[in-house]
Amino acid sequence: MLLDVKNLSVHYYTLSGVVRAVENVSFHINESEWLTFVGESGSGKSTVAHGIMNLVPSPGKIVGGHVIFDGKNLVTMKNEELKKIRGKEISMVFQDPMTSLDPLRKVGDQIVEVMVEHGVEPEEAKKNAKELLKSVNIPPDRLTYYPHQLSGGQRQRIIISMAMAFRPKLLIADEPTTALDVLVQDSIMDLLDEMKSQGTSIFLITHDISLAVERSDKIGIMYAGKLMEYGDVDAIIENPLHPYTSALFASTPDLWSDKKIYAIPGYPPDLREPPSGCRFHPRCQVFKERKDLKGICNVKEPKMIEAEPGHFVACHLYGDENGNSA
Ligand code: ATP
Ligand code: SF4
């Protein structure tokens, strides 16, 4: 196992209250495995990604759990040690490549600088930079361009090429294709696939369920700071267990059928005061329809159980008669 996240909890201490952005989230990623997290905006996906890197922005704080990467706990690791791991063993790619590029410097200089920082000789780094651009189908003369002279897709490919240079053990990609058209999006996903085939594990965050389904080995469904369902992608697509997963799938447009798109009633909760019990209960159709769940779903928090091998769910429908789901 490459990454083992256990009971990770992250809160933001804002002036208007404590935002419980991620609560007791557990999952793991094996070597050369691709896990994708999907979920509505604000469900805590990016916070999980930052938690893994132990880079939660202020006023956020990891308040519980551990992140074991390659046998070491990143939550308790000293900053100096963490710096050596970030960028080299774990790389991160964000939605907006401009957050990782300096707009005032040529891209070639920036690529060379990153390599030199990681111990590559300057002459070697210049040679490598040309090869890197070629490997992501960008003409090497673009090294002399400033970031704004490149398209969004080219900028993102350059960021990924920089990540590829160090063959990280884990690549975290947070909405890397949201601002790009479908063809460019595909080319970025192909690059991630290529990294995976070279041994890198991928943790992708996206709103786009079709992307998650096409490329991943495993998926995780986040809602209101909790992981609701998680496991083998085929098992979840063929047999979604959690009412939220089913609702999310039903609300996804399908180009090839004229199925009616379902709108999940209501809104995600305010994470300063999340609902009691199951955080999804105020919007859950099953809870509304089944009187026997009153006093269970709205009171007790469901625990994550392995409902079938490699397929985990946190919902009282799969618990015992006391509403204990584990
Ligand atoms: P999106 O898909 O829109 O990027 P997400 O699923 O990645 O959303 P997060 O960005 O992790 O969700 O946010 C989770 C919760 O934490 C949200 O309620 C959000 O408002 C809150 N949050 C995120 N960053 C901060 C911050 N810096 N300060 C306060 N609250 C924050
Ligand atoms: Fe619905 Fe209850 Fe399951 Fe939550 S625990 S998803 S409210 S059935």
DSSP 8-class letter at 168? -
Ligand 2, atom 3, lies closest to the CA of: 315
Ligand 1, atom 29, lies closest to the CA of: 12
Q: Parallel, antiparallel, or unpaired for β 60-69 and 72-73?
A: antiparallel
Q: Are residues 32 and 176 in the same domain?
A: yes
| pLDDT exceeds 60 at position 322 | no
pLDDT-derived band at 252 (thresholds 50, 70, 90) equals confident
Under DSSP, is residue 190 helix (H, G, I), strand (E, B) or coil?
Answer: helix
pLDDT of residue 325: 55
| pLDDT exceeds 80 at position 187 | yes
* 25 inside domain: yes
Q: Are residues 43 and 125 in the same domain?
A: no
Query: Ligand 2: distance of its center to the CA of 287 in Å?
Result: 6
Mean pLDDT of 244-257: 82
Q: Are residues 75 and 203 in the same domain?
A: yes
* 41 inside domain: yes
Mean pLDDT of 17-24: 98
Q: Which atom of ligand 2 is nearest to the CA of 278?
A: 4
Structural domains of the chain, count: 2
46 lines ligand 1 (CB under 6 A): yes
Distance CA 172, CA 203 (A): 5
Tens-place pLDDT, residues 121-131: 999 999 999 98
Q: Are residues 269 and 300 in the same domain?
A: yes
Query: Ligand 2: distance of its center to the CA of 282 in Å?
Result: 9
Ligand 1, atom 30, lies closest to the CA of: 12
42 lines ligand 1 (CB under 6 A): yes
pLDDT of residue 80: 92
Ligand 1 pocket mutation pick from 8, 36, 43 by most atoms within 8 angstroms of CB: 43
* 326 inside domain: no
Q: Are residues 83 and 224 in the same domain?
A: yes
Mean pLDDT of 141-159: 90
Its domain, for residue 29, covers 3-89+170-182+193-313
Distance CA 197, CA 34 (A): 10
Distance CA 170, CA 7 (A): 20
Of the listed ligands, the closest to the CA of 226 is 1
243 lines ligand 2 (CB under 6 A): yes
Mean pLDDT of 15-20: 97
Query: Ligand 1: distance of its center to the CA of 48 in Å?
Result: 10
* 318 inside domain: no
* 46 inside domain: yes
Q: Are residues 217 and 83 in the same domain?
A: yes
How many CA atoms within 13 Å lie on the side-chain side of 126? 4
What CATH number does residue 243 fall under?
A: 3.40.50.300
Mean pLDDT of 289-308: 95
Q: Are residues 307 and 197 in the same domain?
A: yes
Distance CA 82, CA 141 (A): 34
pLDDT-derived band at 222 (thresholds 50, 70, 90) equals very high
| pLDDT exceeds 60 at position 163 | yes
Tens-place pLDDT, residues 43-82: 999 999 999 999 999 999 999 999 999 999 999 999 999 9
Q: Are residues 60 and 175 in the same domain?
A: yes
What share of the chain has pLDDT > 90, as a percent?
Answer: 71
* 256 inside domain: yes
Q: Are residues 211 and 295 in the same domain?
A: yes
Of 69 and 181, the structure prediction assigns the larger pLDDT to 69
* 320 inside domain: no
Query: Ligand 2: distance of its center to the CA of 243 in Å?
Result: 7
- The mean pLDDT of the chain is 91
pLDDT of residue 326: 45
What share of the chain has pLDDT > 70, as a percent?
Answer: 96
Ligand 1 pocket mutation pick from 8, 12, 20 by most atoms within 8 angstroms of CB: 12
Mean pLDDT of 308-315: 95
Distance CA 170, CA 179 (A): 23
What strands, in cross-sheet order, belong to the sheet with 17-29?
Answer: 17-29, 3-14, 60-69, 72-73
Q: Are residues 177 and 285 in the same domain?
A: yes
Whether the Cβ atoms of residue 102 and residue 110 lie closer than 8 Å to each other: yes
Q: What is the pTM of this model?
A: 0.92
| pLDDT exceeds 90 at position 313 | yes
pLDDT of residue 323: 45
Closest-CA residue to 316 (of 289, 296, 294): 296
Q: Which of 27-41, 183-197, 227-241 has the lowest mean pLDDT?
A: 183-197
Q: Which atom of ligand 2 is nearest to the CA of 244?
A: 6
pLDDT of residue 320: 67
Query: Ligand 1: distance of its center to the CA of 11 in Å?
Result: 10
pLDDT-derived band at 283 (thresholds 50, 70, 90) equals very high
Q: Which atom of ligand 1 is nearest to the CA of 57?
A: 27
Angle value at C-alpha 28, between 23 and 30, nearest 5 degrees = 165
197 lines ligand 1 (CB under 6 A): no
Ligand 1, atom 2, lies closest to the CA of: 41
* 322 inside domain: no
Mean pLDDT of 278-307: 96
Q: Are residues 109 and 40 in the same domain?
A: no
Q: Are residues 78 and 201 in the same domain?
A: yes
| pLDDT exceeds 80 at position 162 | yes
pLDDT-derived band at 156 (thresholds 50, 70, 90) equals confident
Ligand 2, atom 2, lies closest to the CA of: 297
